[in-house]
Structure 1
Amino acid sequence: MADFEAAVASARPLFEAAKGFISLGLQRSIEYPERYRLVVGWTTVEAHSIDFRESADFQAWRALASPFFTAPPEVEHVSTVF
């Protein structure tokens, strides 16, 4: 777990350099400590799905994080209600 957390921390600059990046947070489940949720704020869905995902920085992010994935990550775009 510490290795995964360190990999995400080292990838932070990749996100921060991305067009449309707002924020990044890593949450760990209390009930299921092997589960994490990466919450990334973007100005638009396209900033994530096109600008970031089609970048070399995305490939670098995946290279850092993917060795720790036990299944393909689930990606969901949400909007804040309040």
Structure 2
Amino acid sequence: MILESAVLHVRPGETEAFEAAFRTASAIISSIKGYIQHELHKCIEHPDQYLLLVRWESLEDHTIGFRGSEKYAEWKSLLHHFYDPFPTVEHYEAVSLEE
């Protein structure tokens, strides 16, 4: 499993519209092959900042499957105009803590 993380800086005054658009966009991402789950968290200290966490079966499910799909264009048109600056997206894999 891969964990995608993105810190989203939403333009001031647009958080309500962003959250409404994200509700719509959630149906898009959850329909993609390899998608497992996602969460959106709003920062307490910085109310225009969000943390998006998405779990994927593989890195390619996100980077090729989702980003290469027509549905990504829908996702982009719904959400990308809210960001300033554009978010950095990073991917993580679990570390085994067993010896």
Mark yes or no: TM-score above 0.5.
yes
Once the 2 structures are TM-superposed, how far is the Cα of residue 58 of structure 1 from its aligned partner? 0.7
| CA deviations over 1:29-67 (Å, ceiling 9, x no partner) | 111111111111100000000000000111100100012
CA distance in 2, matches of 1:7, 1:37: 15
Q: 1:57 aligns with which of 67, 71, 81?
A: 71
**Does 2:97 match 1:76?**
no
Separation in 2, partners of 1:20, 1:4 = 25
Return structure 1 stretches of 4+ with deviation > 6 angstroms: none
Aligned residues: 82
- 1:80 deviates by 3.0
Q: Which residue of 2 aligns with 1:32?
A: 46
Pick the structure with more helix per residue.
1
Pair member with larger Rg: 2
Structure having the higher strand fraction is: 2
Structure 2 CA distance for aligned equivalents of residues 73 and 42 of structure 1 = 19
CA distance in 1, matches of 2:94, 2:37: 14
Identical amino acids, percent of aligned pairs: 37
Query: With structure 1 as the length reference, what TM-score do the two structures score?
Result: 0.93
Q: Give the Cα–Cα distance (whole angstroms) in 2 for the partners of residues 7 and 25 of structure 1.
A: 15
Question: Which fold has the larger relative contact order, with Cα–Cα distance below 8 Å and residues 6 or more apart in sequence?
Answer: 2
Please name the residue that 1:6 is paired with. Answer: 20
State the TM-score, normalizing by the size of structure 2. Answer: 0.78
2:33 to 19, 23, 28: 19
